[in-house]
Amino acid sequence: MDRELAAWLAELPGVDGQIEAVRMRLLRLGRQLERSLAGTAGAHGITLGDWETLSALCRAGPPYALSPGRLARGLGVTSGTMSLRLGRLRHAGLIEPVSRGTDGREKPVRLTPAGYRTWRTATDARTRQEAAVFGGALSGAALRALNDLLRHLMQGFESRFGVAPPRGELRRVTAERADDAPRRGGASRHQAGPGATERGHAPAGGHRRG
């Protein structure tokens, strides 16, 4: 990554190399964590979206029930995406409908005992894996220092841009913009910019969008 950073900075005279290095490493670590989560989910017979849904129900506390609408809003996904997830989870016996209300779309769903066990087993595997990676790379004192630094950095971003949207909402908005770009005649600008930022390559048509 240091070689990639040096090549990137050669195209960005005057840019703070330390800030670029932090940005690139945070993006790359985010992708590593995403890949690790998806792998753990697959090993337990669920998708990452399924796991997020089970986690949202667990965070609600006993009796671990929420309406489809609240789940969709909390996870930042469309009602159609949520319906697909809930259908898959019901078929697997991990959730069940709660007999309340007359509108089937808003009838709450809750975790079954099997759903809670699946969530807990997958989450335990995730935390063990992350403890091994983080603990192998950083001491306890270094982890606390890193958390303090990241807290300040996050506060800086949130004071300027607001609280980060849920992962599902960010993916959906990004996809909608990409789909809409050809209709606005701006496909190359919208498709190249964000991807180039993550990969650390200059976007087509200029060097200013790093």
pLDDT one-digit tens code per residue, 70-94: 999 999 999 999 999 999 999 999 9
pLDDT, greater one: 165 or 175: 165
Averaged pLDDT of the chain: 84
Alpha carbons 81 and 72: distance in angstroms, whole number: 8
User: pLDDT at position 183, please?
Assistant: 60
Alpha carbons 192 and 147: distance in angstroms, whole number: 32
User: pLDDT at position 130, please?
Assistant: 96
Helix (H, G, I), strand (E, B) or coil at 155: helix
Checking 158-162 for CB contacts under 8 A at 24+ apart, the result is none
Starting at the earlier edge strand, list the strands of the sheet with 109-111. 65-66, 109-111, 95-97
User: pLDDT at position 13, please?
Assistant: 87
User: Tokens 């998708």 — which residue?
Assistant: 47
User: pLDDT at position 38, please?
Assistant: 95
C-alpha closest to that of 8 among 190, 205, 199: 199
Give residue 147's Cα distance to chain centre. 19
In this prediction, residue 187 has a pLDDT band, given cuts at 50, 70 and 90, of very low
Strand partners, 95: 111
Q: Report, in angstroms and rounded to the nearest whole number, the Rg of the chain calculated over CA atoms.
A: 21
In this prediction, residue 8 has a pLDDT band, given cuts at 50, 70 and 90, of confident
Residues 159, 73 contacting (CB under 8 angstroms): no
